[in-house]
Amino acid sequence: MNANKFGRSERFGKECSLLVVDVQNDFADKAGALYVTGGEQIVPLINEIRFAFQTVVFTKDWHPPGHISFASAHAGKRPFESLCADSSNVARTLWPEHCVQNTWGAELHPELIVRYDIDIIFEKATKVDKDSYSAFRDEAGEETELREILEKRGVSNVYVCGLAFDYCVGCTALDAVKAGFEVFLIENATMPISKEGRQQMMQRLHDNGVHMITYARSE
Ligand code: VGL
Ligand code: ZN
């Protein structure tokens, strides 16, 4: 894998955008419903990285109460069990209730520097009966508006970071490739839910042409 680096002094042109995926309390705070170990550690890094970009998108996992991805929405199921879903026959992981719209858990981490005047906040997985790890499409394959939003700004390269590497970050990066972008994943500005998940996602990203890069903090 090609471990390229970029550093503090770097400034990208308007063809590059940063996607900060799901850095919300439920994933990034120890008290969160689906805490990703070490999730809070990437926040200071993202706060540095963001200033290298003109277009910054913060995605939010934004589920209505009773969302289909919650174990509690399925009789007899517990979090982290899987469910063989409908006709597609794809096993899906069921989660604890997390990122419920307008709750503390769904808020962006309070230490994250967000410029509400210019940054884009993009909510995903907002329909009760559809989950979506990717910010570019839902699990039924339907595209979201994100591709168009980025294209309108002249973006051709996307840099992806956030939580969790083995789910929403990885899936967003893979779909960004499918949407025609050149995709870079900032390896040290993301954390996985599990080690095994990390391994598998790393392979898929590699096989699909996502470039892994590292952000070098103040040298
Ligand atoms: C995520 C599990 C469920 C994520 C979202 O943001 O990676 N993971 N919902
Ligand atoms: Zn979710």
Within 8 A by CB and 6+ apart from 213, the residues are 3, 4, 5, 6, 159, 184, 185, 186, 187
| Positions of E strands within 149-210 | 157-163, 182-191
Counting ligands in written order, the one closest to the CA of 163 is 1
Instruction: Give yes or no for a contact between 68 and 131, defined as CB atoms under 8 angstroms apart.
Output: yes
The predicted-structure confidence for 114-126, as pLDDT tens digits, reads as follows: 999 999 999 999 9
Counting ligands in written order, the one closest to the CA of 92 is 1
Instruction: Give yes or no for a contact between 85 and 92, defined as CB atoms under 8 angstroms apart.
Output: yes
Checking 109-115 for CB contacts under 8 A at 24+ apart, the result is: 109/23, 109/24, 109/25, 109/28, 109/29, 109/40, 109/43, 110/25, 111/40, 111/43, 111/44, 111/47, 112/20, 112/23, 112/43, 112/46, 112/47, 112/58, 113/47, 113/50, 114/58, 115/56
pTM (two decimals): 0.95
Closest Cα to residue 59, out of 133, 7, 1? 133
What band does 2 get if pLDDT is binned at 50, 70 and 90?
A: very low
Sheet arrangement for strand 182-191? 4-7, 211-216, 182-191, 157-163, 16-21, 55-61, 120-124
Q: How much distance in Å is there from the Cα of 125 to the middle of ligand 1?
A: 10
Residue 167 beta carbon below 6 angstroms from any ligand 1 atom: yes
**Complex-level ipTM:** 0.98
Residue 95 beta carbon below 6 angstroms from any ligand 1 atom: yes
The predicted-structure confidence for 51-77, as pLDDT tens digits, reads as follows: 999 999 999 999 999 999 999 999 999
Q: Which atom of ligand 1 is nearest to the CA of 95?
A: 3
Average pLDDT over residues 15-28: 98
Name the residue at shortest CA distance from atom 4 of ligand 1.
168
Report the run of H or E that residue 204 belongs to, with start and end. helix 195-207
Please tell me the predicted confidence (pLDDT) of residue 132: 93
CA distance 199 to 176: 20
Average pLDDT over residues 182-193: 98
Query: Among this protein's residues, is 168 annotated catalytic?
Result: yes
What band does 39 get if pLDDT is binned at 50, 70 and 90?
A: very high
| Positions of E strands within the chain | 4-7, 16-21, 55-61, 82-84, 91-93, 120-124, 157-163, 182-191, 211-216
The predicted-structure confidence for 70-102, as pLDDT tens digits, reads as follows: 999 999 999 999 987 665 556 789 999 999 999
Please tell me the predicted confidence (pLDDT) of residue 1: 40
Query: Among this protein's residues, is 124 annotated catalytic?
Result: yes
CA distance 184 to 176: 10
CATH superfamily name and code, 5-62+102-216: Isochorismatase-like (3.40.50.850)
Question: Which residues face 118 on adjacent strands?
Answer: none
The predicted-structure confidence for 135-186, as pLDDT tens digits, reads as follows: 999 888 899 999 999 999 999 999 999 999 999 999 999 999 999 999 999 9
Q: Which atom of ligand 1 is nearest to the CA of 22?
A: 6
Residue 35 beta carbon below 6 angstroms from any ligand 1 atom: no
Instruction: Give yes or no for a contact between 121 and 60, defined as CB atoms under 8 angstroms apart.
Output: yes
